[in-house]
Structure formats: structure tokens, C-alpha cells
């Protein structure tokens, strides 16, 4: 059995008047240390799927397993990183990055040292006593990554974490997040609207259709690109070939919406 198994998952949102089937019969497996991305038209259920994997929503049908255990038993296995950093403005960066450990009751000298080492690794040494408002958007997202990794989650769920940043900061952060996840051997699932970002960062890309959300295609990123860091992958000749194939299929899905 793979590290993460999503087995025949469907989800319908029921409101007073309507029922919206956001996902239908989604199945896939992710291996430990793998990086996969979800791409698809707006409303195809990408965020719903991440919320199910994070155990924030119980699917209407199907099961998710992490290391062979159903989600109920493996609840704290995922760390979530979102478009907004959600750092508390009244707490210092150090207090912010230690918050998850405090809440989980696992703040010790060892876990604190690991969090502070991560802050150093990610190039934020020296800002421990600063408040979020004193940092740039890119620095705040880096601090949010440290806070997410500080609790040592088994996998990372990244929901458009770079979409609010300017282009250059986004490219730099893609590089840093990719390298950090490789060095710390984390499994990661990324939701993005950016085909280039998905190719540059992932091992595999799942393409979703909408209404209801289904996986219509899986793209395997060639080894030549996967070996490279995101920035270098973007310069490789195979990058644009894959970009064009995904673009064509995505464009078709948008047209059929």
C-alpha cells in the first residue's frame, strides 16, 4: 500500500435547496517523498480534496488512508499551507512558528531547536523577535512554511501558497520550498492554477475536469525535469513540450465547462 491512498472518494455539498457534487470517484496513490500537483478549472474540487485529505471534511463516499491507517486514526499527519500566511500579527515570528507545537503539547527544547534551525535554514535567522508586519510578503510565507514544518507533519498540503506573491518572489519561494521538502523528505500535494509551477515542482500532475470533479489525466513529469530544481526545470527544452500538452487539455476542459 502507498503512503497516501485515496480510494473511490466522492463528495457532495448539500445546502437547503441544492446538492453540488464536487468530487466523483477519485482514486490515486502517492508514495512517500513524492510531490504531486492538482490542476484543473476553477470549481473542479481541488480544495475540497485537500480538505478531505487534511481530515477537515469527511467525504460522502470513499476512504483516505495514510500509511495504511484511515484518516480518523492518522489525523495529525498533514500540515497545511495556504495563499495567506495567517501569522498572528500580535505575536513575534518565534512565537508564531512555535504555536503549532504549543497547541499540540509537543513544545520541548528539542522541538524548539528544530523550529529555530528551520528558520535559519530558510534564511530568516535574525527575525525571531520581529512581528509579521515588519516582514515582506515572501518572508511571511517563508515563516508560514517554518510554522507548518515545525510540527514535523508527514505530508504537506499546499493550497496555492505562492499565488499572492509577485513573480520573482514566487520563483524564489518555489525553489526554497522544493529544496526544503526534498531535504526534509516530505510528501507534498500542491493545488495550483499555474501549469508552469506544477511542472517545475512535481513528480506527477493530476488534471481534473469539473462538474463533477474527476481526474481525467495523469501527467508524469520526465526524469530530466524532476532531477532539476524548479528554476532550472523551467529552462529545460522538455518543459515547454509538457507545458503545451497540459495547456491544450486544460483549455479544452475550460471550453467544455
Ligand X SMILES: Nc1ncnc2c1ncn2[C@@H]1O[C@H](COP(=O)(O)OP(=O)(O)OP(=O)(O)O)[C@@H](O)[C@H]1O
47 binds ligand X (CB under 6 A): yes
CB nearer to ligand X: pick between 45 and 196:
45
Q: Answer for the pair 257, 41: CB distance below 8 angstroms, yes or no.
A: yes
* DSSP string computed for 139-185: HHHHHHHHHHHHT--SEEEEESTTTTS-HHHHHHHHHHHHHHHHHTT
Q: Answer for the pair 140, 83: CB distance below 8 angstroms, yes or no.
A: no
Distance (Å, whole) CA 112 – CA 131: 18
Distance of closest approach, residue 207 Cβ to ligand X, in angstroms: 12
Residue 62, by phi and psi: left (phi above 0), alpha (psi -120 to 50) or beta? left
Distance of closest approach, residue 41 Cβ to ligand X, in angstroms: 7
CB nearer to ligand X: pick between 11 and 142:
11
43 binds ligand X (CB under 6 A): yes
Q: How many residues bind ligand X (CB under 6 A)?
A: 12
Distance (Å, whole) CA 239 – CA 256: 26
59 binds ligand X (CB under 6 A): no
- Name the one range near ligand X by CB under 6 A: 12-20, 24-32, 79-87, 135-143: 12-20
The number of angstroms, rounded, from the C-alpha of 103 to the middle of its chain's C-alpha atoms is: 22
- Within 215-244, the residues that bind ligand X by CB under 6 A are none
99 binds ligand X (CB under 6 A): no
Residue 107 backbone phi and psi in degrees, to 5 = -80, 110
CB nearer to ligand X: pick between 115 and 158:
158
CB nearer to ligand X: pick between 80 and 239:
80
48 binds ligand X (CB under 6 A): yes
42 binds ligand X (CB under 6 A): yes
The number of angstroms, rounded, from the C-alpha of 155 to the middle of its chain's C-alpha atoms is: 9
161 binds ligand X (CB under 6 A): no
60 binds ligand X (CB under 6 A): no
Residues that bind ligand X (CB under 6 A): 13, 15, 20, 22, 40, 42-48
Amino acid at each position: 500500500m502507498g503512503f497516501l491512498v485515496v480510494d473511490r472518494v466522492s463528495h457532495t455539498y448539500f445546502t437547503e435547496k441544492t446538492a453540488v457534487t464536487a468530487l466523483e470517484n477519485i482514486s490515486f496513490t502517492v508514495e512517500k517523498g513524492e510531490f504531486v500537483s492538482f490542476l484543473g478549472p476553477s470549481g473542479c474540487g481541488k480544495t475540497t480534496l485537500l480538505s478531505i485529505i487534511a481530515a477537515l471534511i469527511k467525504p460522502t463516499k470513499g476512504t483516505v488512508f495514510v500509511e495504511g491507517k484511515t484518516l480518523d486514526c492518522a489525523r495529525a499527519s498533514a500540515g497545511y499551507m495556504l495563499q495567506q500566511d495567517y501569522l498572528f500579527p500580535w505575536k513575534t515570528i518565534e512565537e508564531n512558528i512555535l504555536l503549532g507545537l504549543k497547541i499540540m503539547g509537543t513544545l520541548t527544547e528539542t522541538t524548539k531547536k528544530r523550529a529555530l534551525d528551520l528558520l535559519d535554514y530558510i534564511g530568516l535567522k535574525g527575525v525571531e523577535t520581529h512581528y509579521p508586519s515588519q516582514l515582506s510578503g515572501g518572508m511571511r510565507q517563508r515563516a508560514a512554511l517554518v510554522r507548518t514544518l515545525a510540527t514535523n507533519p508527514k505530508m504537506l498540503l499546499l493550497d496555492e501558497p505562492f499565488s499572492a506573491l509577485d513573480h520573482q518572489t514566487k520563483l524564489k519561494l518555489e525553489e526554497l520550498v522544493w529544496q526544503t521538502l526534498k531535504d526534509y523528505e516530505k510528501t507534498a500535494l500542491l493545488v495550483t492554477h499555474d501549469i508552469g509551477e506544477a511542472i517545475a515542482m512535481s513528480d506527477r500532475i493530476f488534471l481534473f475536469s469539473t462538474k463533477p470533479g474527476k481526474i481525467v489525466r495523469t501527467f508524469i513529469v520526465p526524469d530530466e525535469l524532476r532531477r532539476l530544481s524548479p528554476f532550472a526545470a523551467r529552462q529545460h527544452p522538455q518543459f515547454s513540450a509538457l507545458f503545451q500538452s497540459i495547456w491544450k487539455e486544460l483549455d479544452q476542459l475550460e471550453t467544455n465547462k
